[in-house]
Structure 1
Amino acid sequence: MSSIPYWRLSSFYLSYFALLGATAPFLALYFDHLGFAPARIGELVAIPMLMRCVAPNLWGWLGDRSGRRLLIVRLGALCTLGAFSLIFFAKSYAWLALVMALHAFFWHAVLPQFEVITLAHLHGQTSRYSQVRLWGSIGFILAVVGLGRLFEWLSLDIYPLAVVGIMAGILVASLWVPNAQPAEHAVRPAGEGFLAQLRAPGVLAFYGCVALMQFSHGPYYTFLTLHLEHLGYSRGAIGLLWALGVVAEVLMFLSMSRVFARSSIRAVLLVSFLLATLRWLLLGSLAEVPAVLIFAQLLHAATFGCFHAAAIAFVQSSFGARQQGQGQALYAALSGTGGALGALFSGYAWSGLGPSFTFGMASLAALAAAVIIARHCPPSRSSP
């Protein structure tokens, strides 16, 4: 990669997804450490997901209008760090809700703009994107394993300091990256509008399934760490189990070209939903059995890896060139909405109805997505 600033781009992805590795498994655990009830934990975890419904579209519009994408990335990283640092001043529910909303508003500004910069540096060589993006998964793994061990040795009181350290790394990495602008292309004829393409057979059904799939992940992202800790797993072991899921995801991403060569997008989505149905049942009822838990984490290859790759391909095949941005924005918005509703539901159901019921409802949501995609998505939906 002689003409590509490979290590500069990769260092940003490593630090950015290390932050996700610090929040997805451990944020709810920290709120539990502070003494909040499950319902309040679910609400606090849902706030950043709700911000994902709004922030990317706003910052994306600003980036397109101004062309100052790298400046938005750097300011977003700086404001994320500053907003989250407010956590050191108070620990009340209202204050933490404000911290969650503010930092997420800026955090969700960063990645979409940086993706444009990365693709501009690749000069159309999109097949090399996975070689850069791979470091994001490595950053996630390093964070969950390292912090899991750290929290075994030290109190969770240091959690905010660890998160701020990672956010500082994101800011430094953003300052190291050189700017690049996407190449100008001729504007294609408009053709059908976005709403007309949205009403094409199977498209609305697909977006409904996106929301259901992310809803089904609510108990996983909100309470898995607490669930496993209550079952007697150490924090170090929990970190390794989270990392195992991401390793499976990475291996699946590297294999998706072969998967799509043999299967349609519709088939990949259907299998992803069915395996999610199984995964949530196993986590809710048999997570105390280590072999079952390991198998359930390996299914992350399907429930995230296959699903995300197939979803991106579905959007690309469903919209024209001038509607791709709107299609991807709708995918992000419904992902955020479904994830937020799943986190809220999990918070309210967890203490009163228990893990088995909560994960069971998640399983039903994934099964509903499987039924919808099987009945309403045309079988002829082709792979990229």
Structure 2
Amino acid sequence: MSGLPTQHAVPALVLAYFAYYGVLGIFIPYLGLFLDGRGLSSYDIGVLLALVTATRIVGPSLWAAVAERQGRPLLIMRLGAVLALFGWLSSFFDQGFWLLLLGFSIFSFFWTAILPQLEVTTFHFLNDNTSRYSRIRSSGSVGYIVLVLIGGVLLQSLGTESLPYGAAILMLLLIGSLFLLPELSPPTESSSARKGFGRLLSQPVFLCFMGAAFILQMSFAPFYGFFTLYARDLGYSGVATGLFISLAVLAEIVAFFWMGTLLKQRSYRLVLSCCYGLTMLRWLMLAYLAHSPFWLAVSMLMHAGSFAIAHSCAMHFIQHYFPKALRSRGQALYAGLIFGGGGAVGAYAAGIFWQDGAGSTQTFVIAAATAGVAMLFALCLPTQVHAVVSERTAD
């Protein structure tokens, strides 16, 4: 890998992560408020989020297969961003549940074409340097936090109908950043590698890893789908809610920055298990202590472990477990099953238990118990990922 393409790629990658997660900084925290403002019940919100999230189960793997067949991951990302914007346009029209479901499903399906290919592209340009990846990925956290803050102000001053416009602007910025990326030649996948992919998926260590991540993602559903409604019901303003979420993302940025050093010095299993245990404690704090600004702030700081460090551990696992030619498919499978499957099951369950706010405490307690189960799975993983690689190579 020559220095020139990488030098040109880094600014575009930083901008792409900023814009991609900036969209999510509007979409994830405030979508519940937006849908509530459109008159949907918590059950309707849960169903819509579950169905939309379910499109992420098959989407990443489908787009990864197309990207590998065509050998042009940048084209797939660009196409996905443009068509995702098309689906998002439905949010500009207040025509009830079904138009939103259709539009958001289109948005979500094509949105899944972006991140797995962006992750693989980033590692490709950085020659698998985890430390540099974490620092570039932190620009996504910056984008998220900036848009969370702006979104909180806009929602309080202009109302929830300002959300579609903010997200659309960020999608246009994302499209522009993807066209700034230089072309690359990803490694080709041999027939033996294709056969080996199925064998890798059946290994107990991989099943254990995916099971832990799937269950943990389920536990995040009440937070992603209903936290802004929860904060509003507790008496927090839109600006205050945005500040609390921003505090979580600030902790995430710091964690991403130091993640490479952290994994080099400690047991992979220990780090991941601690993250999952911290997540369990975090949901319990939201259930019983969220009325206190101090304890709510403490729970938000735990996002550094429950998301940032846990996510970096997952990326570290994928990059070391799969050979280069299969990493795109590995990333796509992870994104589809974890964020799609785990997110969809969790969103549907949260919509049932939430009961328009009456079951909020119960829902976060269930989420804590779910995270505890994920921690038990994580404790069964090997101490270091390189041990997994050695066993795989020996096969």
Query: 2:262 matched to 1:296?
Result: no
**Cα displacement string for residues 120-179 of structure 1 (whole angstroms, at most 9, x for unaligned residues):** 44466664333432221111111000110111111212222222222222223333x143
Q: How does 1:41-56 map to 2 (within 5 A)?
A: 41-56=45-60
Q: Which amino acid aligns with 2:218?
A: F
Which residue, out of 31, 36, 39, partners 1:35? 39
Aligned to 1:281: 284
CA contact (8 A) 2:287 2:362 kept: yes
Per the TM alignment, residue 48 of structure 1 is displaced from its structure 2 partner at its CA by 3.2
Which residue, out of 166, 191, 196, partners 1:193? 196
Query: 2:157 matched to 1:153?
Result: yes
Aligned to 1:305: 308
Q: Which amino acid aligns with 2:163?
A: Y
TM value normalised by structure 2:
0.88
| Partner SS for 1:36 | coil
Q: In the superposition, relative to structure 1, how do residues 70 and 315 fare at CA in structure 2: closer, same or farther (>3 Å)?
A: closer
The number of equivalent residue pairs is 382
CA contact (8 A) 2:22 2:144 kept: yes
Q: In the superposition, relative to structure 1, how do residues 30 and 279 fare at CA in structure 2: closer, same or farther (>3 Å)?
A: same
Greater shift, 318-327 or 107-116, is seen at: 318-327
Which residue, out of 161, 166, 169, partners 1:162? 166
Q: Which amino acid aligns with 2:132?
A: R
Which residue, out of 200, 206, 211, partners 1:208? 211
Q: How does 1:107-118 map to 2 (within 5 A)?
A: 107-118=111-122
Per the TM alignment, residue 117 of structure 1 is displaced from its structure 2 partner at its CA by 3.9
CA contact (8 A) 2:120 2:328 kept: no
Which residue, out of 57, 73, 76, partners 1:72? 76
TM value normalised by structure 1:
0.91
Q: Which amino acid aligns with 2:228?
A: T
**Cα displacement string for residues 24-61 of structure 1 (whole angstroms, at most 9, x for unaligned residues):** 10011100111110011112222332121111111111
CA contact (8 A) 1:214 1:342 kept: yes
Per the TM alignment, residue 190 of structure 1 is displaced from its structure 2 partner at its CA by 4.9
Aligned to 2:365: 360
| Partner SS for 2:259 | helix
Aligned to 1:347: 351
Following the alignment from structure 2 to structure 1, what is the Cα–Cα distance between the partners of residues 9 and 206? Answer: 37
Q: How does 1:102-181 map to 2 (within 5 A)?
A: 102-122=106-126, 127-175=131-179, 177-181=180-184
Aligned to 1:371: 376
| Partner SS for 2:132 | helix
CA contact (8 A) 1:120 1:182 kept: no
Per the TM alignment, residue 347 of structure 1 is displaced from its structure 2 partner at its CA by 0.7
Which residue, out of 217, 237, 240, partners 1:237? 240
Per the TM alignment, residue 378 of structure 1 is displaced from its structure 2 partner at its CA by 3.9
| Partner SS for 2:236 | coil
Per the TM alignment, residue 334 of structure 1 is displaced from its structure 2 partner at its CA by 2.1
Q: In the superposition, relative to structure 1, how do residues 350 and 63 fare at CA in structure 2: closer, same or farther (>3 Å)?
A: same
**Cα displacement string for residues 278-330 of structure 1 (whole angstroms, at most 9, x for unaligned residues):** 00010111100111101100000111012112222233444445544443333
Following the alignment from structure 2 to structure 1, what is the Cα–Cα distance between the partners of residues 333 and 167? Answer: 29
Following the alignment from structure 1 to structure 2, what is the Cα–Cα distance between the partners of residues 9 and 227? Answer: 34
Q: In the superposition, relative to structure 1, how do residues 226 and 191 fare at CA in structure 2: closer, same or farther (>3 Å)?
A: closer
Q: Which amino acid aligns with 1:305?
A: A
Identify the structure with the greater helix proportion. 2
In structure 2, list runs of 5 or more residues that go unmatched.
390-395
